[in-house]
Amino acid sequence: MKYLLIIPAIALIIALYAAISYICFRMAIVRRKQKNYFDYQLEKTFYRPYAEDMYKGFSWLASQNAEELEIISSDGLRLRASLIRKECARGTVILFHGYRSLPELDFSCVLETLSSLGMNLVLVNQRSHGKSEGKYIGFGIPERDDCLRWIDKVNEVLGSSLPLYIEGLSMGATTVMMAADADMPDNLCGIIADCGFTSPYEIISSVIKKDYHIPPLLIAPAINAWCRALAGFNLRSRSVTETLSRTSLPLLLIHGKADLFVPFSMGEAAYRACASSDKTFIAVDGAGHGESYFKDREAVTEAISSFFTRTSLHLSVR
């Protein structure tokens, strides 16, 4: 009789495992209702020390005459961005925000600095965020293709004579680094990546272990299975270390040494893997996730300015 109970017990365990992994999949991958970025930053305790600077950035952004841009993704989503033109611009930066965030939030304090360096700014709403369509967040995998389409769109709108850069924070940094091995237009002069993770599967595994104290091997494969079945992509299909090993594009990496979300070791791994002869790693003492610009604004600004000046010279010879 007891053997007859084994099959239902196994079925129950499988059902519970499938349900728990599906909940984890939804928590990680499925879009949520987007919060207003003013409210969002007030809820995040790690942003509170920088609230004054962030509100100054919001005010600067509100004073600009932004234009709306739109592309259609390879899977038919309408993706949107804002363009802030700079008179007599020396180049253009396309900015990709992080996970469950917005460009206005993640780049609030650096936008005016980039503009003062002579750059047009393109603030992308990544798929499943903000004004862009989408149900699933791809952790840089489908976003890689979106990035390439944004490059083409910006060159269509602004022309391809100006130096062009792609810059990202957190998941946005992974997005731009995932694109590093693609066939780029001649005016794409470099990539700036701040605190990006090495792969979607690795960052999900890291969060599962650190925040939930669950061995990643117990749940991460099941999350990936749901991702493949419902969202249509494999969390293991790409990694930053692989793409950077095939790039010759100049790369500026920025990472806080005290980052508890995306481990500093991931930034080090990306730098080691990068095959470019022009690569720079700015490691900021005491900076948590996304805090490098706040903790050492002078060093980060100088690194970005120098990067623009040095790499734009490549345009005439590439």
93 and 118 within one domain: yes
216 and 143 within one domain: no
194 and 121 within one domain: yes
- The predicted pLDDT at position 42 comes to 57
The total number of structural domains in the chain stands at 2
Q: Please give the structure tokens belonging to residue 208.
A: 């599962």
- The predicted pLDDT at position 50 comes to 85
- The predicted pLDDT at position 73 comes to 98
164 and 23 within one domain: no
**How far apart, in whole angstroms, are the C-alpha atoms of residue 294 and residue 230?**
38
CATH number at residue 251: 3.40.50.1820
Give, rounded to a whole angstrom, the gap between the first and last alpha carbons of the chain: 76
- The predicted pLDDT at position 85 comes to 97
- The predicted pLDDT at position 317 comes to 41
217 and 180 within one domain: no
CB atoms within 10 A of CB 58: 18
304 and 224 within one domain: no
**How far apart, in whole angstroms, are the C-alpha atoms of residue 128 and residue 116?**
30
87 and 163 within one domain: yes
Buried b (16+ CB within 10 A) or exposed e, 36-46: ebeebbeeeee
For residues 63 and 57, the answer to whether their CB atoms sit within 8 Å is no
247 and 217 within one domain: no
267 and 119 within one domain: yes
For the stretch 214-241, pLDDT in tens is 899 999 999 999 999 999 999 999 999 9
Structural domain that includes position 242: 39-199+238-316
183 and 141 within one domain: yes
- The predicted pLDDT at position 46 comes to 67
- The predicted pLDDT at position 41 comes to 57
66 and 5 within one domain: no
**Ranges in the chain, pLDDT < 50:** 316-318
- The predicted pLDDT at position 318 comes to 42
For the stretch 241-257, pLDDT in tens is 999 999 999 999 999 99
| Angle subtended at Cα 191 by Cα 294 and Cα 149, rounded to the nearest 5 degrees | 115
- The predicted pLDDT at position 8 comes to 77
173 and 43 within one domain: yes
